Amino acid sequence: MNANVSKLLNEQINKEFYSAYLYLDFANYYASVGLDGFENWYRVQAQEERDHAMLFYQYLQNNGESVIFEAIAKPEWERGDHMTPLKKALEHEKFVTASIDAIYAAAYEAKDFRAMQMLDWFIKEQGEEEKNAADLITKMELFGGDSKGLYMLNSELKARVYTAPSLVL
d(Cα 132, Cα 23) in Å, to the nearest integer?
14
Give the total number of structural domains in the chain.
Answer: 1
Helix (H) / strand (E) containing 22: helix 3-32
- Domain membership of residue 101 (yes or no) is yes
pLDDT exceeds cutoff 80 at 133: yes
- Domain membership of residue 50 (yes or no) is yes
Q: What is the CATH number of the domain that holds 117?
A: 1.20.1260.10
- Domain membership of residue 85 (yes or no) is yes
What's the pTM value of the predicted model, to 2 decimals? 0.94
pLDDT exceeds cutoff 70 at 168: no
Domain with 7 in it: 3-158
Query: Side chain identity at 121, as an amino acid letter?
Result: W
